[in-house]
Amino acid sequence: MLFLPLGVYTLLLHILVLPVHANSPKIFVTTALVNFDARIVQAWSGGGGERWTITNDSNYPFAGREFGAADRWSLKGTQTFGSGYPYGNVDNATIAGRPFPYGLWPLYWGNNITGSDEYGPALDGIRPGGQLVTIPLKAEDGIYNITEGEMYHIIGDRDSATFMMISLVTSCHVSPAWPSKFDPTSPNSTVKMENVIQYYRASSFALASPGYNNTFARTNTNTELTESIPIPDTIRYSEFHKCIDDVIINALAIMNWPPGNNVGDTVTLALAVVGCMLPVFIWIYRVIRFYWRKFKRERRAAKRRKAEMIASRKRSLMYELYP
């Protein structure tokens, strides 16, 4: 068996884990056609970093707006559409013209509700993460003690919703289901604005329940107001709902640090290097200490031998002087 310092194993593990990390769920957000630069929105990311400004060199529809820099601590909004913006909320009456703190566009509810028409289906071709979809969330039988018919829906861009579904299937025992196109203006839509019980990620993602009907949803003209119909206790205290909410808060894809500023990888690599070098320095120190102690022992032994030799010679001389 090969024994290596702990730091070496740490460095090897970091090198081996990076490819796996690179294949974790990601959305590439491109806002310019003059280069291959793109920001990355990633599941389980911590977010953060500096804000970027969308350049005006490629006729992107939202040129001049800021995006990125928001972290996971501010991910959760309220039941009011337009909530959850950590910055850029200059007009509480509309979400039009706002930045994209997490890198994704807000939802679209039709009829220009709260100014959301500028994020409508006409721009689905360039919406980060793909067009808006919805996925039903039903618990597998026998896992939770839930009320009959308790179910939920997630609403968001295709990639975020799909990534989220994978996490919910594995963490909350949600029955697997695939996304379907979300058209809020269709009379046959299974999810209405009134059904939303929680907005996340600057209102770009939502959790809804058919068992909830918030009559204030469409009449609320202030995104900072929290007036709404109380959520029923069967939902509020549901273990199934709690699991879904917790996983969304922790796993929902948000924008990473800018390229070259991935603090997590940098810190891990730095610690790995320190971990590799520290045992080397300790080994050098121990070797030097060992030979220094050996040198001092040999020096003391030589002094003792010399002293014994001198004493022996003196005894011999005294014997010769006094026979």
Per DSSP, the residues of 136-174 read EE-BPTTTS---TT--EEEEEEHHHHHHHHHHHHHHH-B
Output the pLDDT for position 314: 67
- Using alpha carbons, list the distances in angstroms from residue 259 to 41, 52, 104, 168: 12, 12, 18, 29
> Taking a C-beta distance cutoff of 8 angstroms, is the pair 258, 37 a contact?
no
Q: Is residue 230 part of a domain?
A: yes
Q: How many residues does the chain have?
A: 323
Q: Is residue 204 part of a domain?
A: yes
Rounded CA-CA distance 235/220 in Å is 23
Output the pLDDT for position 29: 93
Which residues of the chain fall below pLDDT 70? 1-23, 259-276, 313-323
| Residue 185 neighbours by CB distance under 10 Å | 11
Q: How many CA atoms lie within 13 A of 119 on its CB side?
A: 28
Q: Which domain holds residue 192?
A: 75-85+103-253
3-state SS class at 99: coil
Taking only the tens place, the pLDDT of each residue in 44-95 is 999 998 999 999 999 999 999 999 999 999 999 999 999 999 999 889 999 9
Q: Is residue 80 part of a domain?
A: yes
Output the pLDDT for position 1: 44
Rounded CA-CA distance 194/191 in Å is 8
> Taking a C-beta distance cutoff of 8 angstroms, is the pair 80, 220 a contact?
yes
Q: Is residue 92 part of a domain?
A: no
What residues pair up with 154 in beta bridges, in sequence order?
135, 207
> Taking a C-beta distance cutoff of 8 angstroms, is the pair 196, 81 a contact?
yes
Structure-derived torsion over alpha carbons of residues 260, 265, 269, 272, reported in degrees to the nearest 10: 170
Output the pLDDT for position 267: 54
> Taking a C-beta distance cutoff of 8 angstroms, is the pair 160, 205 a contact?
yes
3-state SS class at 203: coil
Q: Is residue 16 part of a domain?
A: no
Output helix, strand, coil percentages for the chain, rounded to the nearest 5.
40, 15, 45
Q: Is residue 44 part of a domain?
A: no
Output the pLDDT for position 114: 94
Q: Is residue 180 part of a domain?
A: yes
- CB-count burial class (<10 Å; 0-12, 13-18, 19+) for 320: exposed
Output the pLDDT for position 323: 52
Radius of gyration of the chain (CA): 33
Task: Say how many domains are in the chain.
Answer: 1
Q: Is residue 235 part of a domain?
A: yes
> Taking a C-beta distance cutoff of 8 angstroms, is the pair 28, 38 a contact?
yes
Output the pLDDT for position 292: 86
